[in-house]
Structure 1
Amino acid sequence: MTARRQLPPLATLRAFEAAARHLSFRQAASELGVTPTAISHQIRLLEAMLGQPMFVRHVRRVSLTPAAATLYPVLRTGFDAFADTLAQLRKPAARATVVLTATRLFTARLLVPALGGFTRAHPDIDLHLHASDTPVDLAAGAADIAVRYGTGPFDPLIATPLAAERVGVLCSPSLMIATPADLRRTSLLHSEWIHPVAGPDWATWARLAGMDDLAVESGPRFTDDGHALQAAIAGHGAVLSSLILAAPDIETGLLVHPFGPVITKGGYVIVTTATAADRPDVAAVRDWLVSLVDAPSGP
């Protein structure tokens, strides 16, 4: 059988190690959350057990005796080993994970550029982005929160209006387009919307602008809204697109919104299950989404 160790109380050893490291009873007391008198009591207890002094008391400081100089590095190494081992064994706090699903264009134009800001604001939340133009089943757990376009119905999910869609003329500042009449000298870029009935087109915009002579059927066509925006950024013409999704490019000056009218139709909705809606991490993502969709001001 292993012989029983003859050791002073742990509190005594901790008090001695802290006092020896700081060469101050007062600083040792502050570190351990006790009074200097308590430290002095523990040191006297250790000295009584060892039968010799461990500190030389000066007016405003203490110094180590030869016995203390022998004991201190042993205890320091031991306590450091305790701390390192306990840190390795301590389970890290569980991180929250939120899966956010949105259309490919919404994800690419708004969510991805702003992801760094969310991570800095919420370092304890792992946000997973799921880009899909096909709605996923939130009730089955495929995602925790979604941004969807349209009016629903969304039952039994909880739907919170995010923003009304605003569609307007966008172009590169290099084209020097300042008035609607300038559109007659540039290409009109067309985006084939997934749901054509819901998508404003150049014919609708020209009618609202009173430009019945605008060649609304001419110009390149794209099956992807993002490609149409990229063509506009490259200076290939003017595009009729979402002012919300183009907001990052308007803010950086890659695109300009030189004039109206603006077509408001449809909108974006935040959708969650009733269970997910009560989660603080999902609420943080919901608040972040609201902060992203502030539509740009008028031209």
Structure 2
Amino acid sequence: MTARLPSLNGLRAFEAAARHLSFTRAASELNVTQTAISHQIKRLEEELGVRLFVRQNRALELTTEARDYLPGIRAAFNDLRLATDRLLQKGNDNVLTISTIASFAAKWLLPRLGTFQEAHPEIDVHITTSSSLIDFTRDNVDAAIRYGRGQWPGVRSAWLMADEMFPVCSPALLKGKRPLRQPEDIRHHTLLHTSSFDDDWRQWLTAAGLPLDMLGQRGVSFDMIFMTVQAAIDGSGIAMGRTSYVRDDVAKGRLVVPFDIALPADAGFYLVSPEGGIERSKLRAFREWLAASTRGQS
């Protein structure tokens, strides 16, 4: 006799709650209320005749039975996702959605994207920007370009390139009344900071043998590095540049590098994509283009 399958909603609630060990986060992921998750779990437990969760000191834990049950349920949902992916692949293979950081999109990706489109006119590229990690089970994104050390669980990470960091400024600043001939001269200028790279100036000053009290001099801070770079281009002060964000501006003379002291950044850029899924031809083409475009920049 074939066993009757339990409620699909109950199984979805169980898989999400078991993954997060939280009814609240499961409810947020599935776009339902926490009460609904609780009711679905309770109904599933009644259908199975097995207790699945134990609450201890406001924490949620899986029972022994639930830990044995979870791998099969998770594998079943992964199979459903893959089957759906295969079904929809032909109809959606001409749209490639890439998520990345706004500054990286503005200063590196967009100026080069035309070469990809020329090579692959059959692929429509959609760029979205976000500083958050992507949840490929929820977000409608094919891949993401992220900055870090590549140690993100549950995804495939492909190395792209690393950065060096060094001061940059407008050529007009070098011709101003306050000289900028040696590192000590930055004391007489406004420092431009990026909040997401708030340690860069401290590291560079240390490497240059300069006192850290320079960090306390007048300065302006921005939350995105492309804004910091633009302020430097406009002559507002000296920015701590990173290779990916200033390479083109230096090459075109909009910025200059006044000193020869550069430090390697402690992380790099990666192309992040779903783990274990089928890599579509459009994503493979984009990954190969990225690898060719970043060759020699790491």
TM-score in terms of structure 2 length: 0.60
Query: How many Å separate the matches in 2 of 1:276 and 1:242?
Result: 33
Per-residue CA deviation, residues 171-208 of structure 1 (Å, 9 max, x unaligned), is 11222244323323322111211xx6xx4332221111
Structure 1 246/295 Cα, relative in aligned 2: closer, same or farther at 3 Å?
A: farther
CA contact (8 A) 1:243 1:295 kept: no
CA contact (8 A) 1:200 1:263 kept: no
Query: How many Å separate the matches in 1 of 2:294 and 2:100?
Result: 14
Task: Say whether residues 1:215 and 2:214 are aligned partners.
Answer: yes
After superposition, where does 1:176-187 map in structure 2 within 5 Å? 176=174, 177-187=180-190
Structure 1 residue 248, shift from structure 2 partner: 1.9
Per-residue CA deviation, residues 83-142 of structure 1 (Å, 9 max, x unaligned), is xxxxxxxxxx98621111101111111122222222112111111101111122123352
Tell me the equivalent position of 2:225: 225
Structure 1 113/233 Cα, relative in aligned 2: closer, same or farther at 3 Å?
A: same
Query: How many Å separate the matches in 1 of 2:106 and 2:212?
Result: 35
Query: How many Å separate the matches in 2 of 1:150 and 1:173?
Result: 31
Structure 1 279/243 Cα, relative in aligned 2: closer, same or farther at 3 Å?
A: same
Task: Say whether residues 1:189 and 2:195 are aligned partners.
Answer: no
State the aligned residue count. Answer: 201
Query: How many Å separate the matches in 2 of 1:109 and 1:189?
Result: 17
Per-residue CA deviation, residues 275-298 of structure 1 (Å, 9 max, x unaligned), is 66632211221122234445779x
CA contact (8 A) 2:165 2:200 kept: no
Tell me the equivalent position of 1:257: 257
CA contact (8 A) 1:136 1:142 kept: no
Tell me the equivalent position of 1:122: 120
* AA aligned opposite 2:286: V
Structure 1 residue 153, shift from structure 2 partner: 3.2
CA contact (8 A) 2:104 2:244 kept: no
Query: How many Å separate the matches in 1 of 2:296 and 2:181?
Result: 21
Structure 1 269/138 Cα, relative in aligned 2: closer, same or farther at 3 Å?
A: same
Please, what is the CA RMSD of the aligned residues? Answer: 2.5
* AA aligned opposite 1:251: A
After superposition, where does 1:132-171 map in structure 2 within 5 Å? 132-140=130-138, 142-171=140-169
Tell me the equivalent position of 2:23: none
Bigger radius of gyration: 1
Structure 2 counterpart SS, 1:158: strand
CA contact (8 A) 1:189 1:238 kept: yes
Structure 1 94/153 Cα, relative in aligned 2: closer, same or farther at 3 Å?
A: closer
CA contact (8 A) 1:168 1:263 kept: no
Tell me the equivalent position of 1:88: none
Deviates more, 1:213-222 or 1:161-170: 213-222
Structure 1 residue 156, shift from structure 2 partner: 2.2
CA contact (8 A) 2:170 2:234 kept: yes
Structure 1 95/155 Cα, relative in aligned 2: closer, same or farther at 3 Å?
A: closer
Structure 1 204/101 Cα, relative in aligned 2: closer, same or farther at 3 Å?
A: same
Structure 1 residue runs without a partner (length 5+) = 1-92
Query: How many Å separate the matches in 2 of 1:118 and 1:276?
Result: 24
Query: How many Å separate the matches in 2 of 1:229 and 1:202?
Result: 14
Structure 1 276/129 Cα, relative in aligned 2: closer, same or farther at 3 Å?
A: farther
After superposition, where does 1:239-278 map in structure 2 within 5 Å? 239-258=239-258, 259-274=260-275, 278=279
Query: How many Å separate the matches in 2 of 1:139 and 1:211?
Result: 48
Structure 1 counterpart SS, 2:121: coil
Structure 1 counterpart SS, 2:145: strand
Structure 1 208/260 Cα, relative in aligned 2: closer, same or farther at 3 Å?
A: same
Structure 2 counterpart SS, 1:112: helix
Deviates more, 1:116-125 or 1:268-277: 268-277
Structure 2 residue runs without a partner (length 5+) = 1-90, 175-179
